[in-house]
Structure 1
Amino acid sequence: MSDPTRAALDALNGTDVRLRHVCKARDATDQVGPRRFLHAGPPIELADIPGPMRGAIIAGLLLERQAGSAAEAEAIIDCGEVSISPCHDANAVGAMAGIITPNTPVVVAEATGGIRTFSPLNEGVGGAMRYGSYDEVTLARLRWLGDVLAPALDAALRRSDPLDLLALVAEGLRRGDDCHNRLVATSAALLVTLTPGLLHAPFGREDIAKVVSFIAGNGHFALPFAISAAKAVTLAAGGIPGSPIVTAMASNGREFGIRVSGLGDRWFTVPAPIGDPVLLEGATLDDVTPTMGDSMISETAGFGAFAMTAAPAIMSFVGGDTARAQEITRSMREVCAGTSGRFLIPAEDFRGTPLGIDVHRVRATGIEPVINNGLAHREPGRGRVGAGITPVPVEPFAAASRALEETAPERVGAADEPGRHA
């Protein structure tokens, strides 16, 4: 194994990440403003955004009180008066549409070396801003999350021991989660960890009861804690000259893109896929927005679909059976350069998950990396329509592999072996 590959794997395996704050995004970054928002996926022009992202921007403008109605918000968008940029450029990750505004409540993580990352608090699986909803129920929940739940959690953190986010993910895998689309056990463990601090936080009894009830009723609550940690370790693995290890996978609903350690912030993209979805009753494929979101940073960091043998119950949510889960995890080992030393799968005798997607291996084998993901309706305001397992086309990985060879022509990778496909 080359030194650049090993260096990236060591960072993925060895970087520690702690929960630092829960606050509003304006207190975590200077890259948001009243009409300056972050979004999921590679860069996209405002005129090209898909329906759910448009709906989320409408919600953002209403949340920031830049518009008094959905119609007014749409007019602001149509006049090009909103600036958007990728979450990844701000060391952030956003599920689904990934729209982050100044008043969006976020989880802030801090890794070895002072790397800070953040991700919006999870609103639940019903109508939600990340799925493009912007009704009054969604907005009222967002305001409560920012004004009550976020400061209550932050106060609890100050009264608790530092929370190791990667240990939280590792324990979730041991308890039957994949920590991307199944986080039932992880969310419960997070609630247990934070409750003592919540009970001593300077908030009224009714507020704390509502906070505890909300977390207990949201099986995806731990997602931003997991993916902000994943973003931190992949940042630590980035910027290593010659390294073929993938450091980001993300989609804006139009294009799916990857970044690679040895190629910095450059995106390699392909049209966003849809995969093999499990749709809600009444929904059809024509209703589905192609893959969207930053939460596949989970797979990039070694969990999610790469750990599906740890979470057999997830198959009823994303489709398939335990045999398919086993096949996915097995095939992901073929395209990864290493094995996790901390994400262990009980059903595989505590073998580590596949870790470190290697673009040369993807190009050489032709095996498509796999993610599991939620799916939103194509039209703004219509919300979630399902979830699924999505193989990612080989093309961006192959393009990155060739780009690495161009930066180091003396290097001969696996992609050049006779009989392999490029």
Structure 2
Amino acid sequence: MVSVTDLGIDPAAGFTSVDEANATAFERLDAADPWVVDVAPARDVLPGYRDNLVLTSGAPMAWPDYTGGQREALIGGALFEGLADSRDDAIAGFDSGRIEVGACQDHAAVGSLAGIYTASMPVFVVENRTHGNRGFCNFYEGKEPRRLNYGCYDEGVHERLLHVNTVLAPVVGEAIRRRGGIALKPLIARALRMGDEVHSRNAAASILFNREIMPAILDMCDDRVPGVRETMLHLAENDYFFLRLSMAAAKASADAMVVPGSTLISAMAFSCRGFAVKLAGLGDTWFEGPPPIHQGKLFAGHTEDEITWMGGESPITETVGLGGFAQACALSLQEYQGGSPEVMIERNLEMYSITHGENSTYRIPQFGFRGTPTGIDARKVLQTGVLPVMDVGLAGRDGGQIGAGVIRAPRECFADALAEHDRRFGAR
């Protein structure tokens, strides 16, 4: 367990009430100001990173507990990084501890689906300029359904990852540095007004980001920086590029919420084993439950029995009032993940019943520019029976993306978190 002292907070400051703690946590979240300031290899910027470490999504687990696509993704990460010569050698390396497995969020990072990080992989460095902390996320691999974060590793995946490392990331990083960093919060707010919810739909945000770096890109063309044309063509055809920036921005924002006694949710994630949440008032302690409840729309040729869970930390976007909590901004998602405009609007309105307040920056035009429901309160989840909704991609048991849909967090996580909260702080 992580104590208040472990969090670097003076216990003598006192804990007066849950409502006061929640108000402070919400204010810290709402005031966050995430800027992307750099791109760098994970080994150079993630706190506590080691060259033999492979990170993955979800609450920390021991290597033998990883199964299916998440296990295969870890093996693929070890092979890509050159930590092993073969699949069997990678397994032996994890078994012996020669290759280490870790949790993304223990290193201030978040991972999409399996969420694999290796030492050489480039990451976005996002700085919360209000509170001084940082969040990280690695790069989108491209729109090919077979991707490392979906449990696949083959020659094509290897080549695409290498292309990110050697061409795309250096150009994007140089453009960001030449711009002196880019403020992400106003960009996200505008994308919501243009039809995104910046989880399962990032088309507008990706275009807006491309526009932000364009002055630097033009200068780089004049300077004959290699890879510029190739990089911009890649960004132009990949609408999901911005997801990793929205995730890193959400992580940097949510990590600032730590306030003793708060019952607001500061992280949500899942692994091959199940779903888990953190409370802002209990630091780094995860509370785990079964896999999420899902509804979705599958790509042609796939069936429900193929759906599998292999991790995912993109619900950090919902944690800060985006994604499923801004679903009414992105009604076009019905074509991608199923449902109807009426259901999406109803689902979004439902989230106001389980959140502390409304976001002062992220607003929903459909609701008269009402702020998105923000700051999930575990107490309200149990009181109302309303479970947080998230927009996600769906993975197949044989690897790759096979569809998209919505999931609901399991009730058990919130019940266990509040039980520990009451043990620590007394009755609510």
Q: Deviations over 1:56-93 (max 9, x none)?
A: 22221222112334454345445554311111111100
User: What is the correspondence of 1:134-149 to structure 2 with a 5 Å cutoff?
Assistant: 134-149=153-168
The answer (yes or no) to whether the contact 1:177–1:186 under 8 Å persists in 2 is yes
1:104 partner amino acid:
M
Which residue number corresponds to residue 12 of structure 1? Answer: 29
SS of match in other structure, 1:278: strand
Whole-angstrom CA distance in 1 between matches of 2:310 and 2:76: 21
Which residue number corresponds to residue 248 of structure 2? Answer: 228
Residue 142 of structure 2 is aligned with which of 124, 139, 159? 124
The answer (yes or no) to whether the contact 1:34–1:64 under 8 Å persists in 2 is no
User: What is the correspondence of 1:254-333 to structure 2 with a 5 Å cutoff?
Assistant: 254-290=273-309, 292-333=311-352
Deviation at 1:97, TM superposition (A): 0.2
Deviation at 1:245, TM superposition (A): 0.6
Task: Say if 2:218 is the partner of 1:218.
Answer: no
Q: Deviations over 1:257-302 (max 9, x none)?
A: 0000111111111111251121122222222113621110000010
Task: Say if 2:395 is the partner of 1:376.
Answer: yes
Tell me the TM-score normalized by structure 1. 0.92
Q: Which runs of 5+ in 2 are unaligned?
A: 1-17
Q: Which runs of 5+ in 1 are unaligned?
A: 413-422
Taking a change above 3 Å as real, the CA distance of residues 263 and 199 of structure 1, as seen in their structure-2 partners, is: same
Which residue number corresponds to residue 417 of structure 1? Answer: none
The answer (yes or no) to whether the contact 1:289–1:375 under 8 Å persists in 2 is yes
Task: Say if 2:50 is the partner of 1:33.
Answer: yes
SS of match in other structure, 2:111: coil
Residue 386 of structure 1 is aligned with which of 403, 410, 415? 403
Whole-angstrom CA distance in 2 between matches of 1:400 and 1:71: 39
The answer (yes or no) to whether the contact 1:37–1:100 under 8 Å persists in 2 is yes
The answer (yes or no) to whether the contact 1:199–1:208 under 8 Å persists in 2 is no
Tell me the TM-score normalized by structure 2. 0.91
1:218 partner amino acid:
N
Whole-angstrom CA distance in 2 between matches of 1:125 and 1:397: 34
Which residue number corresponds to residue 265 of structure 2? Answer: 246
SS of match in other structure, 2:252: helix
Task: Say if 2:52 is the partner of 1:52.
Answer: no
Deviation at 1:213, TM superposition (A): 0.6
Whole-angstrom CA distance in 1 between matches of 2:348 and 2:310: 20
Deviation at 1:204, TM superposition (A): 4.2
Whole-angstrom CA distance in 1 between matches of 2:122 and 2:230: 17
Which residue number corresponds to residue 155 of structure 1? Answer: 174
The answer (yes or no) to whether the contact 1:32–1:38 under 8 Å persists in 2 is no
Which residue number corresponds to residue 363 of structure 2? Answer: 344
1:398 partner amino acid:
A
What's the RMSD between the two structures over aligned residues? 1.8
Deviation at 1:35, TM superposition (A): 2.9
Whole-angstrom CA distance in 1 between matches of 2:394 and 2:126: 26
Deviation at 1:195, TM superposition (A): 1.9
SS of match in other structure, 1:22: strand
Moved more, 42-51 or 337-346: 42-51
2:394 partner amino acid:
L
Whole-angstrom CA distance in 2 between matches of 1:17 and 1:53: 29
Moved more, 47-56 or 141-150: 47-56
1:399 partner amino acid:
D
Which residue number corresponds to residue 208 of structure 1? Answer: 228
Moved more, 166-175 or 241-250: 166-175
1:113 partner amino acid:
H
Whole-angstrom CA distance in 2 between matches of 1:135 and 1:315: 32
Which residue number corresponds to residue 115 of structure 1? Answer: 133
- Count residues with an aligned counterpart: 408
SS of match in other structure, 1:293: coil
Give me the identity figure in percent.
35
1:82 partner amino acid:
I
Which residue number corresponds to residue 21 of structure 1? Answer: 38
The answer (yes or no) to whether the contact 1:248–1:258 under 8 Å persists in 2 is yes
The answer (yes or no) to whether the contact 2:331–2:344 under 8 Å persists in 1 is yes
Whole-angstrom CA distance in 2 between matches of 1:90 and 1:174: 32
Taking a change above 3 Å as real, the CA distance of residues 29 and 174 of structure 1, as seen in their structure-2 partners, is: same
Whole-angstrom CA distance in 2 between matches of 1:134 and 1:73: 13
The answer (yes or no) to whether the contact 1:241–1:262 under 8 Å persists in 2 is yes
Which residue number corresponds to residue 171 of structure 1? Answer: 190
The answer (yes or no) to whether the contact 2:70–2:311 under 8 Å persists in 1 is no
Taking a change above 3 Å as real, the CA distance of residues 256 and 284 of structure 1, as seen in their structure-2 partners, is: same
The answer (yes or no) to whether the contact 2:133–2:252 under 8 Å persists in 1 is yes
Deviation at 1:252, TM superposition (A): 1.0
Whole-angstrom CA distance in 1 between matches of 2:382 and 2:311: 23
1:37 partner amino acid:
V
Q: Deviations over 1:154-185 (max 9, x none)?
A: 21122214311111211111110010010001
The answer (yes or no) to whether the contact 1:17–1:166 under 8 Å persists in 2 is yes
1:115 partner amino acid:
N
The answer (yes or no) to whether the contact 1:44–1:252 under 8 Å persists in 2 is no
Whole-angstrom CA distance in 1 between matches of 2:28 and 2:38: 23
Whole-angstrom CA distance in 2 between matches of 1:114 and 1:262: 19
The answer (yes or no) to whether the contact 1:38–1:100 under 8 Å persists in 2 is yes
